[in-house]
């Protein structure tokens, strides 16, 4: 899987790419580790992540 800068990804797709669980990807979004836009409210809340934000994780100098 190749990440495209301007494409939008779901937490499930990000989890697969990063080899983490979907709940971990959601937590990373919620805590601001992974910059994302949120969609919905309450139990139906989900996140969408731009490819550039996924790639920024690897360019970051701060530890995760």
pLDDT surpasses 60 at 55: yes
Higher pLDDT: 59 or 46? It is 46
What pTM was estimated for this model as a whole? 0.83
What would the pLDDT profile of 36-54 be if each residue is shown by its tens digit? Answer: 999 988 888 899 999 999 9
Percentage with pLDDT > 90 across the chain: 75
Instruction: Give me the residue spans of the domains in the chain.
Output: 8-59
Q: How many CB atoms lie within 10 A of CB 32?
A: 8
| 8-59 CATH | 1.10.10
Instruction: Write out the H or E segment, with its range, that includes residue 52.
Output: helix 51-59
The pLDDT-based confidence of 31 (bands split at 50, 70, 90) is very high
């Amino acid at each position: 899987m190749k990440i495209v800068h301007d494409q939008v990804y779901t937490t499930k797709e990000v989890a697969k790419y990063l080899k983490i669980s979907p709940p971990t990807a959601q937590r990373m979004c919620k805590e601001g580790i992974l910059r994302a836009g949120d969609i919905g409210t309450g139990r139906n809340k989900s996140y969408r992540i731009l490819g550039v934000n996924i790639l920024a994780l690897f360019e970051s100098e701060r530890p995760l």
